[in-house]
Amino acid sequence: METDRAAKPVASSSSRPPRGRDKRRALVSAARDALYELGLKKTTLAEVARRAEVPLGNVYYYYKSKGALIGAVIEARRGELEAELEACAGAGAPREQLCAFLTAQARGAETKARLGCPLATLAQDLRKGEHPRAGEARALLELQLGWLEARFRREDDEERRSGRARELAEQLLAAVHGAFVLAHALDDPSVVRRRMGALEGWVVART
């Protein structure tokens, strides 16, 4: 009589994503980093393939053009931004949410001093190159601006009535991006941290 053999465990298909999904994710991540570090002109599909460690033909399989891959990068950046804003929205009252936003901007100060803001540099690069997806990249900054405006509106009824919320949002976001530009020009990440701290003080003092 034969004894039963122990059955080998079968890996669940849901426990590991398909290789295609992994490659697509790797390509988007590589393209995102290349665009940030090298800019639009120097980011070739061959460079993306090299960074993602996949054959060049795989890039064309998932993304028929450089423009399609850039679109995927913008969507990835949007997802990251939405997650960041959602986390800030959980900080409490509008004032605390604004301070949480500024704390988030201070993260990665070294990288921002070296390369600038990832959202602004992408939008500027695509606009300079007159890329058809420039508007999609610009929309990321508009999302930031709209989120800030909503917090200022909720903070003060008078600002809601006067329409000053938009002005305050522009003032704050311009100061944030100005800090990134100055830190980049001076090659000094401490500028980002100091200016975000000063802006937090401004937010607290005016409420």
179 burial level (CB within 10 Å; 0-12, 13-18, 19+): buried
Rounded CA-CA distance 117/34 in Å is 14
For residue 190 the two structure tokens come to 């401490």
pLDDT per residue as tens digits for the range 118-173: 999 999 999 998 999 999 999 999 999 999 999 999 876 666 666 799 999 999 99
**Number of Cα atoms under 13 Å in the Cβ half of residue 76:** 19
Q: How far is CA 121 from CA 61, 95, 103, 184, in A?
A: 28, 28, 20, 12
pLDDT value of residue 21: 77
Average pLDDT, rounded, for the chain: 90
Domain ranges for the chain, please list them: 16-64, 76-205
Asked if the model's pLDDT at residue 100 lies above 70, the reply is yes
**Confidence bin at 20 (pLDDT 50/70/90):** low
For residue 191 the two structure tokens come to 């500028």
pLDDT value of residue 101: 99
pLDDT per residue as tens digits for the range 28-66: 999 999 999 999 999 999 999 999 999 999 899 999 999
pLDDT per residue as tens digits for the range 63-83: 999 999 999 999 999 999 999
Domain at 16-64, CATH class: mainly alpha
Q: How far is CA 35 from CA 65, 71, 78, in A?
A: 15, 12, 15
Query: Which CATH superfamily is 76-205 part of?
Result: Tetracycline Repressor, domain 2 (1.10.357.10)
Asked if the model's pLDDT at residue 94 lies above 90, the reply is yes
